[in-house]
Amino acid sequence: MMRLDKFLCEMGIGTRSEVKTCLKKGQVTVNGEIIKKPEVKIDENNDIICYLGQTLAYEAVQYFLLNKPAGCVTATRDNLSETVMSFLPENRRDDLFPVGRLDKDTEGLLLLTNDGQLAHELLSPKKHVDKTYFAVIDGEVKEEHKQLFLEGLDIGDDDPTMPAKLEILKSGETSEIKLTIQEGRFHQVKRMFEAIGTKVTYLKRISMGPLSLGDLQPGEVRVLTETELEQLKNR
Residue range 5-41, pLDDT digits in tens: 999 998 889 889 999 999 999 999 999 999 999 999 9
Rounded to the nearest 5°, which phi and psi values hold at 170?
-155, 135
Q: Do 164 and 179 reside in the same domain of the chain?
A: yes
Active site residue 5: no
Q: Do 29 and 91 reside in the same domain of the chain?
A: no
Sign of CA dihedral 31, 33, 39, 40: negative
Q: Which of the residues 43, 94, 95, 103 is marked catalytic?
A: 103
Q: Do 192 and 225 reside in the same domain of the chain?
A: no
Domains held by the chain: number: 3
In order of 61, 86, 107, 129, the CA distances from 210 in angstroms are 19, 25, 18, 9
Residue range 154-213, pLDDT digits in tens: 999 999 999 999 999 999 999 999 999 999 899 999 999 999 999 999 999 999 999 999
pTM comes to 0.82
Q: Do 83 and 30 reside in the same domain of the chain?
A: no
Domain extent, residue 100, equals 63-124+211-233
Q: Do 116 and 69 reside in the same domain of the chain?
A: yes
- Collapsing DSSP to helix, strand or coil, 155 comes out as coil
CATH code (residue 46): 3.10.290.10
Q: Do 68 and 84 reside in the same domain of the chain?
A: yes
Number of H helices, E strands in the chain: 6, 15
Q: Do 165 and 188 reside in the same domain of the chain?
A: yes
Q: Do 20 and 44 reside in the same domain of the chain?
A: yes
Residue range 77-125, pLDDT digits in tens: 999 999 999 999 887 888 999 999 999 999 999 999 999 999 999 998 8
CATH code (residue 141): 3.30.70.1560
CATH code (residue 112): 3.30.70.580
- The last residue of one of the domains, among 16, 38, 55, is 55
Q: Do 97 and 141 reside in the same domain of the chain?
A: no
Q: Do 68 and 99 reside in the same domain of the chain?
A: yes
Q: Do 70 and 112 reside in the same domain of the chain?
A: yes
DSSP class of 69: P
